[in-house]
Amino acid sequence: MKVAAINKARALALIELDELNLGGKVRFSDCVAPLVQKYGFEVFPQKPEDFDLDNKGARFESGKAGAIAIDSLLIYNGAIYIDTFSSTSDSQAILLAMLEWGRESLGLSYTEGMLKKWAYISQIVFYTDFPLLASFSTPLQNLAQKTSRITEELHGGLKYEPTAFRIGHDPVVRKHGIASLYVEHRVNSRFDENKYFSEAPLPTHLHIKFLEEFEAEVLKSLK
């Protein structure tokens, strides 16, 4: 398996914003200009409707923390998240450093260890040396072959293969669902390129590790 790109690496901290403003000394609108100056965001809240922290969130985009590009920073009343193109650990580290800076420079009441609940989204593009989706399940292979015998006849040689798989939790167990883990053929790429896209509610390093282990298990089953 070869990782070609990290499309998204999101670290999300669940926290009520009022906890970062104990004593009510900080106005959120006063934080925008320092954030833009510190991180160089090219998109940032400017109009009153841009500060809808309950629904749309306050969005900052296209910034930089040292050598790492920040795709977006989104602030809600109950959560803050950062997206990068490198790893969820980078995103988490940037958010923690940002809050520490906010304590020193903006007067936030942030303290170390305050963020106890985290969530992650990892999106990667990767290649394999063999057709991963067409190989991992014999029953699916058989179903694809039987379908292909009909579609090739009806539609002039149109062959079917497994195109994706998805694993997720029972949607009725949780009101606000957590993302599935899924793998699919990369859009606009031929099946024989063995190029795939995957999303998972996991830190980036575990996402990659689990896919590598899955790849190894599929290869073992083919021997």
Residue 96 buriedness (CB in 10 A; 0-12 / 13-18 / 19+): middle
Between CA 180 and CA 186, with CA 184 as vertex, the angle to 5 degrees is: 130
Distance CA 185, CA 189 (A): 7
Q: Which structure tokens are listed for 98?
A: 């940002």
Residue 87 contacts residue 94 (beta carbons within 8 Å): no
Q: Is the pLDDT of residue 87 over 90?
A: yes
Whether this prediction's pTM lies above 0.85 is answered by yes
129: which 2 tokens?
């040396």
Q: How would residue 144 be classed by pLDDT, with cut points 50, 70 and 90?
A: very high
The structural domains of the chain, with segments of one domain joined by +, span 9-121, 123-222
- DSSP letter at 153 equals H
**pLDDT tens digits along 108-142:** 999 999 999 999 999 999 999 999 999 999 999 99
Residues linked to residue 167 through DSSP beta bridges, in sequence order: 181
Give the Cα separation of 209 and 161 in Å (integer). 25
Structural contact between residues 13 and 115, judged by C-beta atoms closer than 8 angstroms: yes
Quote the CA–CA distance of 166 and 161 in Å, as a whole number. Answer: 16
11 near 120, Cβ under 8 Å? yes
Q: Is 197 helix (H, G, I), strand (E, B) or coil?
A: strand
**Position 108: which residue type?**
L
Q: How confident is the model at residue 22 (pLDDT cuts 50, 70, 90)?
A: confident
Give SS3 for 23: coil
Query: Mind listing the pLDDT tens digit for each residue in 170-198?
Result: 988 888 888 999 999 999 999 999 999 99
Question: Which residues neighbour 21 within 8 Å (Cβ) at sequence distance 6 or greater?
Answer: 108, 109
State the Cα–Cα distance between residues 206 and 209, nearest whole angstrom: 5
CATH number of 9-121, picked from 3.30.310, 2.30.30, 1.10.3470, 3.30.450 = 3.30.310
